[in-house]
Structure 1
Amino acid sequence: MKLRWSRTLTLLPALALALGVATTAPAAADAPTVRSGWNNYSCKPSADHPRPVVLVHGTLGNSVDNWLGLAPYLVARGYCVFSLDYGQLPGVPFFHGLGPVDASAQQLATYVDRVLAATGTSKVDLVGHSQGGMMPRVYMKFHGGAGKVNALVGLAPDNHGTDLNGLTRLLAYFPGAKQYLDKLTPGLSDQIAGSEVLNRLNEGGDTVPGVHYTVIATKYDEVVTPYRTAFLDGPDVRNVVLQDLCSADYSEHVAIGILDRVAFHETANALDPAHATPTTCASR
Structure 2
Amino acid sequence: MQRNATTRYPILLVHGLFGFERIGRFELFHDVKQALRDVGNRVFVPQLSATHDNEVRGQQLLMQIDRVLAGTGASKVNVIGHSQGALACRYAAALAPEKVASVTSVSGPNHGSEVADLLRKALVPGQIPERTAHEIATQFANFLTLLSGRRTLPQNAVAALGALTREGVSQFNRTYPQGLPTTWGGQGAEVVDGVRYYSWSGVLPAAPTENLLEFNPVHRVCRVLSRHFTVEAGQNDGFVGRYSSHLGSVIRSDYPFDHMDSLRRTHGPSIDPIELYVEQALRLRAADL
Question: Which category of TM-score, normalised to the shorter sequence, fits these structures?
Answer: 0.5 to 0.7
Q: Do residues 106 (structure 1) and 59 (structure 2) align?
A: yes
- Deviation of 1:136 after TM superposition, in Å, equals 0.9
In structure 2, the partner of 1:67 is 29
- Counterpart of 1:266 in 2: which secondary structure? helix
In structure 2, the partner of 1:223 is 239
**Aligned pair in 2 of structure 1 residues 259, 171: CA closer, same or farther (>3 Å)?**
same
Contact 1:105 1:135 in 2 (8 A): yes
**Aligned pair in 2 of structure 1 residues 183, 107: CA closer, same or farther (>3 Å)?**
closer
Q: Percent identity, aligned pairs only?
A: 23
**Aligned pair in 2 of structure 1 residues 204, 259: CA closer, same or farther (>3 Å)?**
same
What do residues 145-173 of structure 1 show as CA deviations (whole Å, max 9, x unaligned)? Answer: 21111111111001111111862474385
- Deviation of 1:199 after TM superposition, in Å, equals 1.7
- Deviation of 1:176 after TM superposition, in Å, equals 9.8
Aligned amino acid, residue 91 of structure 2: V
- Counterpart of 2:12 in 1: which secondary structure? strand
In structure 1, the partner of 2:173 is 201
- Counterpart of 2:272 in 1: which secondary structure? helix
Structure 1 stretches (4+) deviating beyond 4 angstroms? none
Partners of 2:173 and 2:59 lie apart in 1 by 15
Partners of 1:215 and 1:154 lie apart in 2 by 4
- Counterpart of 1:194 in 2: which secondary structure? helix
- Deviation of 1:212 after TM superposition, in Å, equals 1.5
- Counterpart of 2:173 in 1: which secondary structure? helix
Gaps of 5+ in 2: 129-154, 180-191, 205-236
Farther-moved stretch of structure 1 (166-175 vs 255-264): 166-175
Partners of 1:266 and 1:47 lie apart in 2 by 12
What do residues 49-96 of structure 1 show as CA deviations (whole Å, max 9, x unaligned)? Answer: 321111101111136732111001111111010011111xxxxxxxx2
2:252 to 240, 254, 259: 240
Contact 1:124 1:148 in 2 (8 A): yes
Q: Do residues 76 (structure 1) and 76 (structure 2) align?
A: no
- Deviation of 1:203 after TM superposition, in Å, equals 4.9
2:275 to 265, 271, 275: 265
Partners of 1:114 and 1:107 lie apart in 2 by 11
Partners of 2:69 and 2:164 lie apart in 1 by 29
Aligned amino acid, residue 240 of structure 1: R
Gaps of 5+ in 1: 1-45, 88-95, 244-249, 277-284
Q: Do residues 52 (structure 1) and 39 (structure 2) align?
A: no
Partners of 2:245 and 2:282 lie apart in 1 by 22
TM-score (norm: length of structure 2): 0.62
In structure 2, the partner of 1:189 is 162
Partners of 2:198 and 2:108 lie apart in 1 by 10
TM-score (norm: length of structure 1): 0.63
Higher RCO, Cα 8 Å, sep 6+: 2
Q: What are the equivalent positions in structure 2 for 1:11-50 lying under 5 Å apart?
A: 48-50=6-8
2:122 to 165, 171, 175: 171
Q: Do residues 123 (structure 1) and 76 (structure 2) align?
A: yes
Contact 1:190 1:198 in 2 (8 A): no
Partners of 2:157 and 2:238 lie apart in 1 by 24
What do residues 181-224 of structure 1 show as CA deviations (whole Å, max 9, x unaligned)? Answer: x96531121111111x5423345733232112221110220101
Q: How many residues align?
A: 205
Aligned amino acid, residue 56 of structure 1: V
**Aligned pair in 2 of structure 1 residues 251, 176: CA closer, same or farther (>3 Å)?**
closer
Partners of 2:5 and 2:117 lie apart in 1 by 48
Aligned amino acid, residue 110 of structure 2: N
